Structures are given as structure tokens and as C-alpha cells.
């Protein structure tokens, strides 16, 4: 099935997270996920989706006239067609991002792709699914994201950053889990520890209602 994908939606918005936050971006949201994070805000992507061939997906993404395209989910790397899709988007002249849970091997991802690799802290309920081997594959244009749900998550993430020297590999971003931890508290913890990470909020949840789809 590498020539087709189950697609939830393709839409234009702004990049709400990452080091490219605020830029116009086309999102290709694929169906299916192998994780069930407790704070997940996109559970509706776990099933369903429209089966499309790769050329149709590329054409729909390109029709928005925006250079930056993010392939997201769910977990996009569950589908065999995700890597060929990223290659075709690159060949079409797009700047391509991949948002992945970090539970699957990122080695097959084209090297030009801007990978956003999640690390799952204990509060997600999926800490055991982290594929730590992926850290050795990180490149300077990649980034690591950790969603923080409480102080214990922060301390876990802080130690992961230090143990694996993550900030020397690529940018590292800490996000407060929406509605579970105060943003100001997370900022204070980062400052108290002088941790070399970037604090981020999900911009789209402030521009639109937090449960709005397609934004």
C-alpha cells in the first residue's frame, strides 16, 4: 500500500508549534496511531480517513500555494506511503516537516525533512514506547519536543536532555500539556534550571478554539 495513504485532512493554516511557529503551512494529516497518550488532542485521527494515491495527496497539498508542508497524524510513519510522500513533496520543491511520536524508526525519512521528534514523558502513559535509538539519528535541522503534564514530567525531561546532551544535537522544545500544567510554572522551572530548551505554546489553540479541527 506504499502508493496510497489514508488521509484525514489536508488544509492550510499557520504552523502552531516548533521552531517554525507562525509560518504559513499546509498540513497533511494521516490516519492511525499506535499510541494512546493521555492528553492526546487528536483522537479522532485514530480511525477512518480517505484512501488517496500519493499523486493526489501531493496535488492537494501543492494546490494551496504554500512552500512549507507538514506531514502529521496520528502517527504518519505507520503508513508505508508516508516516506514516499515526503520524497515526492521534496521533489516538488516543498520544505517538508514530519511530526512523529518517536516510537518508530526515523532512519527511512529523507535527510532533508525537518523532523519533529516527540519524547513521551511519563504523564503521557506511553513512556515505554520511546525508541531511544532515534536520538542517534537526529540532525541539527531536526528538533525534539516534550509535552509536559506536571512537575514529574518536567524532571524526567530535564534529565533526558542532560543525559543525552540533546540540546547539542538539535533544538529542544518543552510544551505545557493544554489544561494540565500552568505555562508560567513550566517557564519558571526552565529558568530555575537554566535549561537550554525552548518553551513553546500551541499557537493555534489561542487563535482558534482549542478543539477546532482543520486549523
Domains defined along the chain, listed by start = 4-207 (3.20.20.70)
Distance CA 179, CA 4 (A): 36
Q: What is the maximum span of the chain, computed from C-alpha positions, in angstroms?
A: 50
Q: Could you count the other beta carbons within 10 Å of the beta carbon of residue 93? A: 8
- What per-residue confidence (pLDDT) applies to 42? 84
For β-strands 4-14 and 143-148, DSSP reports them as unpaired
Per-residue pLDDT of the chain (215 residues; tens, 9 = 90+): 579 999 999 999 999 999 999 999 999 999 999 999 998 888 888 999 999 999 999 999 999 999 999 999 999 999 999 999 999 999 999 999 999 999 999 999 999 999 999 999 999 999 999 999 999 999 999 999 999 999 999 999 999 999 999 999 999 999 999 889 999 999 999 999 999 999 999 877 777 676 667 66
Helix, coil or strand: residue 14: strand
Distance CA 18, CA 165 (A): 19
Joined together, the cell numbers standing for residue 180 give 494540565
Amino acid at each position: 500500500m506504499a502508493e496510497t495513504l489514508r488521509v484525514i485532512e489536508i488544509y492550510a493554516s499557520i504552523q502552531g508549534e516548533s521552531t517554525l511557529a507562525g509560518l504559513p503551512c499546509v498540513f497533511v494529516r494521516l490516519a492511525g496511531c499506535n499510541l494512546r497518550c493521555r492528553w492526546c488532542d487528536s483522537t479522532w485521527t485514530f480511525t477512518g480517513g480517505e484512501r488517496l494515491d500519493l499523486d493526489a495527496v501531493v496535488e492537494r497539498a501543492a494546490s494551496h500555494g504554500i512552500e512549507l508542508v507538514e506531514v502529521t497524524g496520528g502517527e504518519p510513519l505507520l503508513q508505508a506511503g508516508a516516506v514516499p510522500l515526503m520524497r515526492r513533496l521534496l521533489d516538488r520543491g516543498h520544505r517538508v516537516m514530519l511530526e512523529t511520536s518517536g516510537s518508530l524508526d526515523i532512519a527511512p525519512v529523507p535527510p532533508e525533512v525537518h523532523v519533529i521528534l516527540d519524547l513521551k514523558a511519563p504523564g503521557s502513559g506511553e513512556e515505554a514506547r520511546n525508541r531511544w535509538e532515534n536520538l542517534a539519528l537526529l540532525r541539527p535541522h531536526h528538533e525534539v519536543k516534550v509535552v509536559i503534564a506536571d512537575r514529574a514530567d518536567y524532571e524526567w525531561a530535564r534529565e533526558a536532555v542532560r543525559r543525552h546532551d540533546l540540546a547539542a544535537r538539535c533544538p529542544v522544545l518543552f510544551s505545557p500539556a493544554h489544561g494540565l500544567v500552568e505555562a508560567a510554572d513550566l517557564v519558571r522551572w526552565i529558568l530555575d534550571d537554566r535549561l537550554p530548551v525552548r518553551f513553546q505554546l500551541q499557537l493555534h489553540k489561542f487563535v482558534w478554539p482549542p478543539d477546532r479541527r482543520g486549523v
